[in-house]
Amino acid sequence: MKSESDLFDYLKKHVYPDLLSSGYDVFAGTDCASYEFKHLIELKCRGAHYKMLLIEKAKFDVLVDNAERTGFEAWYINSTPMGIYGWKITREMDLTWEKRVLPETSQFKDTDKVIKTVSYLKVIKADFKKEGVGNG
């Protein structure tokens, strides 16, 4: 997947037939939702494959807060050149948070650096894996 839009289209075609973009919805602050599966989903496309994929604390908090408020499950789904990986996100996850200096956004080149609180999710522990389908 070259973009989150590509990842959205793949998931809609192969995983969530009812997938809806969330920008206009009660789930604002996340990327999409499936009412059939009751999944609230944040999408991320990575240009490289890593054994552990980063999640920002701010994204984590929005996902979990909205899931608790609506009764949906929170999911964080990433694509890499090796495949698609998703994790069910809960407050009970054993995550170690750390502050890192990172680009303000990964969408544009030459962005300013900011301090973000982040953790890492192990690809081998993903709850959903579709390997061989990715950014390649």
pLDDT in tens, 74-125: 999 999 999 999 999 999 999 999 999 988 776 556 578 899 999 999 999 9
Please give the pLDDT value at position 69.
92
Beta carbons within 10 angstroms of residue 136's beta carbon: 11
Asked which of 28-32, 48-52, 85-89 is least confident by mean pLDDT, the reply is 28-32
**Alpha helices for the chain (secondary structure H):** 4-14, 57-70
Structure tokens at 79: 């694509």
The sign of the torsion formed by the CA atoms of 57, 106, 23, 44 equals negative
Tokens of 25: 């919805």
What b/e readout covers 87-107, taking b as 16+ CB neighbours within 10 angstroms?
A: bebeeeeeeeeeeeeeeeeee
pLDDT above 80 for 29 = no
The reported pLDDT for the residue numbered 136 is 53
Inter-residue contact 41 to 20 (CB < 8 Å): no
Torsion of Cα atoms, 111 then 117 then 122 then 125, to 10°: -130
Sheet holding 113-122, edge to edge: 52-56, 113-122, 98-103
Percentage of the chain modeled with pLDDT above 70: 90
At 55-70, the pLDDT tens digits run: 999 999 999 999 999 9
